[in-house]
Structure 1
Amino acid sequence: MQGTLNATDVRRHWGQFNDDIVREGPRFVKRNRDSWAALSSEHLKAAFATFTFEAELLYEEDGSVTASLKGFDLVENGETEEEAFDLLTEELIEYANEYQDNFKTYFGSPNRHDQFPFIMNVLSQDDTEGVKSLIRCPVGER
């Protein structure tokens, strides 16, 4: 790949390498048979920005609201739409951290492999509000 840096050179010029990533853009590195990419948090957010979530709301007979994410086995129930949505957001953050903690297993699993870009979008957010903004939810719309 054109523009791929040698890991030995990167190690020798670590400070400059980091400055270049943030100011100039992503870099690709090769070490023996392994290759990897380095990019800033801003670039990471941009790369995965289109991987958002769609929530579905179910209004229960007891007046509570159940919220779930399409394509994910995440479901939460709250007394209100807002509470269900907040709980679902927290559950999504917990799941993204679990995915990262067990990356080899989750990424290698056929039913979770395609979730990777969505998980990266969650992990790249600065806070809970950032994650919440990734979920399209018809809160207040019946």
Structure 2
Amino acid sequence: MLMEQATTVRKEWSSVCDSVIHEKPKFIKRTRDRMWFSNLETMEEILNAYKFTAEKYMEDDGSVTLSLNEIDLIENGEDEQKAKMALGKAILEYSADYYNDYAFYSHSPNRKGHIPYIFKALIMDSPERIGESIQCHDGKN
């Protein structure tokens, strides 16, 4: 792989940053550690393959409950749009909590698979954008 040495990156930090932003991501090696350095647009493009999907349940009172498939989150709203906005907010809040305690969450076997969704939500950085992106499918009551 095309690894750049961390000492070189450190010495040429400004030009490396410019290169990553305007040209392409970089692979960096420091002793045994290997890293990837990219801009957020590239990461967002990579994460486009990950979709938020939810099962939709119509409640007896006419409200809508959405159960997110990728992360164990459930929200209810007067209608599907309000439930999606509530779920978008819950996803972003969970993502912030996950990121703030990344060492714990990312090593938990039942939460490790959340990583791409966490970064997708953090990059989107908008409960409205996240909510609008949720694809709903009818669940079985």
Structure 2 length-normalised TM: 0.89
1:92 matched to 2:91: yes
Q: Is the 8 A contact 2:88 2:129 kept in 1?
A: no
Alignment of 1:96-135 (within 5 A): 96-135=95-134
Tell me: CA distance 1:69–1:61, structure 2 relative to 1, closer, same or farther (3 Å). Answer: same
Q: Is the 8 A contact 2:54 2:67 kept in 1?
A: yes
Shift of 1:31: 1.3
Greater displacement, 41-50 / 71-80: 71-80
Find runs of 4+ consecutive structure 1 residues off by over 2 angstroms: 126-130
2:80 counterpart residue number: 81
1:17 CA displacement: 0.4
Segments of structure 1 that go 5 or more residues without pairing to the other structure are none
In structure 1, how many angstroms separate the alpha carbons of the residues matched to 2:4 and 2:94? 34
Structure 2, gaps ≥5 residues long: none
Question: Shift of the alpha carbon at 1:128?
Answer: 3.0
Q: Which residue of 2 aligns with 1:26?
A: 25
Could you tell me how far apart the structure 1 residues matched to 2:130 and 2:77 are? 19
CA RMSD of aligned residues (A): 1.6
SS at match of 2:60: coil
